[in-house]
Structure 1
Amino acid sequence: MTISTFDSSHFEHGYVKFAVHTKPVSLQNDGAKRAAFKKELQKITSQSEYIITGTCWIAIDYYCQHVRREKNPGVYDIDNIVKPILDGLTGERGLIVDDVVVNRVTVNWIDSPHDDWFEVEIEYPDLLFSRKADLVFLKSPSGWCFPSTNALIADTGYMVMVRRYFATWDSISSEDEYYESVYDLPIQNFIYYVKIRDKGFQFVELCTVDGDDLDSPRRAY
């Protein structure tokens, strides 16, 4: 049985939690085993209509029999289960756009009389999510991407605002410049294209070449 909170009310309040009754794999396992684990995890996460697009905090509780963990020399180190789980959470079939938006991960071992399983809890600022079917990334000439929706990019005023966001973000080259400009930036993260290009998302190219205007999006992918 899988317990999940993928309904809109939980996403609207910045909180998602679900259980996976599968043993996690280690980062040191071979690629085939990690791929099979990701597929199993995404059978669950793909059920969600929504995806988190910005800064988030993740907690992982790994339930394992105490004796098995204490007396098994081959038991997974707690840090080695983190990356395969994060990889399974990313992309269009996952719950977060990429693990670059994860600001904190906490992991706990919890004694259980049953077979190994784990639970994932994700919290985030409650505006930073989107319906997967609506999500589109605006991609600037500099390679930075900004999550939006098809409805929003049809609005000229919105595109003017986003153009300013991109211009401000592209102008920053130091920590001091960032803090001088932070109040002119959105709370939503910018994400570099190479991080998400193979995650199954839709992109719209924004181009200033040959007189094109950033306010006029051009679908590229």
Structure 2
Amino acid sequence: MHARFAKYKRRSELPKVSMNINVSTDNCSFDKHYLVKESASAEMTIELEFEKIVSMQSKIQRQRDLIALIHSELKKFQWVISESVNIEITWYLDAVERQETDKVGDLDNITKPILDAFTGENGVLIDDAQIGSIHTYWLSRNDQKVDNIVKIKLSFNNDYCFNKNDLIFIQYSGAVCTPMNVNFDEHISMYGALAVIKARKKHRLTAEKLKEMGANADRYLVVSSYDMHRTRLNGFNSSTIYSLPKFRQKCLNHGFTYTALLNLRKAHEKAIKSS
């Protein structure tokens, strides 16, 4: 049985720069990272039109205008991806202009400013290190089209996404952080986060002991689609990044004490018996 994915489109313009943007999605939307639960495959496509290409050599303000334009749409997504993504970028350029002038830079030069806009709290990626593959190429555009066009298609597994509204990062092992959705008004939410961190720390401890014995199980016990270095979180407000002691203290401040944990477990056992 083939599922028919819903598609969403939105168009917006920022008057300060001569650029337009159009965003379309497949099996996801601005408020949901999935539309068909049975499928983990999702895509988003961003189409940009510029009168003048922005490259790494462009003026800082033009690069900022480009990032602001992309952020104007991507910040509307209420979730962020934590897994590896695949990106395909197609440039529709004036072939003669590209050959006869230096107005259009090399593909790597004109691609980097765009990718920078995909990360952080106003983007859809935590960090550009998540880009598992990138395919960039150019085609000669139709002469009837005045502006240059670029289409960016981002493919990802939507099982690995976090809502932005209660997203935090817990730094639990050296500089290693992991993203979590935590509601500090719910004991079960805080308990779940602490339980996951405890398990991850045990995995790392076991990996260290195996290394001491001459075996290496890091790929099984350490490598994760969720863990990332603290320096990769520059696109997020520092107030959302917690050391483990700071996170535990905040849980205590919100009433999640040892007694609260016991009550939570008792309520769970009671629910099982009555079911």
- TM-score normalised per structure 1: 0.80
* Structure-1 residue corresponding to 2:70: 41
1:160 corresponds to 2:195? yes
1:150 corresponds to 2:182? yes
- Correspondence for 2:244 among 206, 211, 215: 206
Q: Is the 8 A contact 1:38 1:84 kept in 2?
A: yes
* Structure-2 residue corresponding to 1:190: 227
After superposition, the C-alpha distances for 1:179-213 in whole angstroms (9 at most, x for unaligned) are 61333357423111122144336223202xxxx8x
Partners in 2 of 1:191 and 1:134 — Cα distance? Answer: 18
Partners in 2 of 1:3 and 1:147 — Cα distance? Answer: 26
Q: Which has the larger radius of gyration?
A: 2
Partners in 2 of 1:30 and 1:15 — Cα distance? Answer: 31
Q: Is the 8 A contact 1:26 1:84 kept in 2?
A: yes
Identity of aligned residues (%): 19
* Structure-2 residue corresponding to 1:104: 133
Partners in 2 of 1:217 and 1:127 — Cα distance? Answer: 30
Q: 1:24 to 1:55 in 2, by over 3 A?
A: farther
1:58 corresponds to 2:104? no
CA RMSD, 1 decimal: 3.1
- Correspondence for 2:162 among 130, 146, 155: 130
- Structure 1 segments, 4+ long, off by >4 Å, are 169-173, 176-179
Number of residue pairs matched?
211
Q: 1:135 to 1:58 in 2, by over 3 A?
A: same
Higher relative contact order (CA 8 A, sep 6+): 1
- TM-score normalised per structure 2: 0.66
Partners in 1 of 2:200 and 2:163 — Cα distance? Answer: 22
Say which SS state the counterpart of residue 37 (structure 1) adopts: helix
After superposition, the C-alpha distances for 1:107-152 in whole angstroms (9 at most, x for unaligned) are 1102222211211111223311122113211122512110110149
Q: 1:39 to 1:111 in 2, by over 3 A?
A: same
